[in-house]
Amino acid sequence: MVQEPLTLYKLIVLYMLNRVNFPMTAAQVSEIILEKEYTGFLTLQQAISELTDAGLITSETIRNRTLLTITGEGQETLNFFQNRISDAIKEEINAYLKEKEYSLRNEISVQGDYYKSTSGEYEAHLIAKDHEINLIDITLSVPDETTASAICDNWLTKNQQIYQYLIQELF
Between these two residues, 103 and 159, which has the higher pLDDT value?
Answer: 159
Q: Which amino acid, 41?
A: F
List, in order of start, the domains of the chain with CATH numbers: 3-108 (1.10.10.10), 110-170 (no CATH)
Which residues fall within 8 angstroms of residue 13, CB to CB, at 6 or more apart?
29, 33, 44, 47, 48, 51, 57, 68
Query: Residue 110: its pLDDT value, please?
Result: 84
For residue 72, the surrounding DSSP H or E stretch is: helix 72-81
Predicted confidence (pLDDT) per residue in 96-135, tens digit: 999 988 888 777 788 888 999 999 999 999 998 876 788 8
| Percent helix, percent strand, percent coil in the chain, to nearest 5 | 60, 25, 15
Query: Residue 103: its pLDDT value, please?
Result: 80
Query: Residue 10: its pLDDT value, please?
Result: 95
Q: Which amino acid, 4?
A: E
Residue 67: φ, ψ to 5°: -95, 130
**Greatest alpha-carbon span in the chain:** 63
Query: For residue 96, which of 156, 154, 47, 29 has the smallest C-alpha distance?
Result: 29
Question: How many Å apart are CA 72 and CA 124, to the nearest integer?
Answer: 32
Predicted confidence (pLDDT) per residue in 64-104, tens digit: 788 899 999 999 999 999 999 999 999 999 999 999 888 88
Predicted TM-score (pTM) of this structure: 0.75
